[in-house]
């Protein structure tokens, strides 16, 4: 309600101002000239308040810019040149140029929107998790420390393990299913070694 009341008040004031300006006794504002009465290089707090801090002083340097009613001569010449060039173009040619410009703008907007969609989809693909952290941690713990591996030895692999390492049993259990393949040229009686663990039974070349 407060916004509507304020809007109604502003609308009424604008209507009153329009009636005053359109009255036959009101002189035309375009015929009025604004003349600076006081120019000072000192800071003016009243001007700062009225201009919301944009104009700190009202001096000879800022007056030509703030009270100018025409553009710079260079800008005015360029505008005249553009108007002259536009007047030389026929309506058909102008319509074709407008259509080509609109087509170029449409293609550019389509490319920009496509790039934005691809970047958004790429960001979603990068943020999507493709692995399970729990499984990864369990696998690393099993490989590095033998965590979760069975200490039971397979049947038929008798003998003792000579090792001073505490995790040797887990390493042996993890590697029990691996079968040694003798390389050509290597002695058949060579005793296999696995991570510092020496097997006691050298008479079984097929077991590790």
Q: What is the pLDDT of residues 140-153, one digit of tens each?
A: 888 888 887 877 66
What's the CA gap between 112 and 136, in Å, rounded? Answer: 40
Query: Most confidently modeled of 36-50, 114-128, 157-171, 175-189?
Result: 36-50
Would you say 199 and 191 are in contact if contact means Cβ atoms under 8 Å apart?
Answer: yes
β-sheet bridge partners, residue 58: 40
Q: How confident is the model at residue 96 (pLDDT cuts 50, 70, 90)?
A: very high
pLDDT given at position 50: 87
For residue 206, the model assigns a pLDDT of 57
Q: Is position 113 within any domain?
A: yes
Tell me: pLDDT of 161 over 50: no
Q: How confident is the model at residue 58 (pLDDT cuts 50, 70, 90)?
A: confident
Residue 93 lies in a domain: yes
Is the pLDDT at 41 greater than 50? The verdict is yes
Query: Residue 56 domain-assigned?
Result: no
Radius of gyration of the chain (CA): 45
| Over residues 91-114, mean pLDDT | 93
DSSP string, 48-73: HHHTTTS---B-TTTHHHHS--S--H
Please indicate, yes or no, if residue 31 is contained in any of the structural domains: no
Position 57 pLDDT exceeds 50 = yes
Tokens 């140029």 belong to residue? 97
Q: What is Dmax (Cα atoms) for the chain?
A: 126
**Would you say 208 and 191 are in contact if contact means Cβ atoms under 8 Å apart?**
no
Structure tokens at 162: 């000579």
In a domain, 114, yes or no: yes
For the chain, how many structural domains are there in total? Answer: 1
Quote the Cα angle for 45-49-55, to 5°: 75
Q: What percent of the chain has pLDDT over 90?
A: 22
pLDDT of residue 100 exceeding 90: yes
Give mean pLDDT, residues 127-134: 75
The predicted pLDDT at position 62 comes to 85
What three-state secondary structure class fits 161?
strand
Q: Which two tokens stand for residue 172?
A: 């042996």
The pLDDT value given to residue 72: 83
Is 179 part of any domain?
no
Q: Token match 């025409």: residue?
A: 70
Q: What is the mean pLDDT of residues 44-61?
A: 88
Average pLDDT, the chain: 76
Residue 9 lies in a domain: no
208 Cβ neighbours under 8 A, 6+ residues apart: 175, 176, 178, 179, 180, 192, 194, 199
Residue 75 lies in a domain: yes
pLDDT value of position 113: 92
Q: For residue 106, what are the domain limits?
A: 71-121
Q: What average pLDDT score do residues 46-60 get? A: 88
């Amino acid at each position: 309600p407060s916004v509507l009341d304020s809007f109604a008040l502003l609308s009424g004031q604008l209507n009153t101002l329009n009636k005053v300006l359109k009255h036959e006794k009101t002189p035309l504002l375009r015929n009025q000239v604004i003349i600076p009465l006081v120019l000072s290089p000192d800071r003016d707090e009243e001007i700062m308040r009225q201009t919301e801090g944009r104009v700190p002083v009202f001096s000879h340097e800022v007056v030509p810019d703030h009270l100018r009613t025409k553009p710079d001569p260079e800008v005015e010449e360029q505008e005249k040149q553009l108007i002259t060039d536009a007047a030389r173009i026929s309506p058909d040619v102008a319509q074709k140029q407008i259509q080509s410009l609109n087509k170029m703008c449409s293609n550019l907007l389509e490319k920009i929107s496509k790039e934005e969609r691809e970047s958004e989809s790429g960001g979603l693909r990068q943020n999507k998790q493709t692995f399970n952290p729990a499984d990864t941690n369990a696998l690393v713990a099993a490989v590095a420390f033998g965590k979760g591996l069975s200490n039971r030895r397979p049947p038929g692999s008798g003998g003792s393990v000579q090792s001073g390492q505490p995790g040797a049993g887990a390493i042996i259990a993890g590697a029990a299913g691996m079968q040694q393949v003798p390389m050509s040229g290597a002695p058949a009686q060579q005793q296999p070694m696995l991570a510092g663990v020496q097997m006691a039974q050298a008479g079984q070349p097929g077991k590790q």
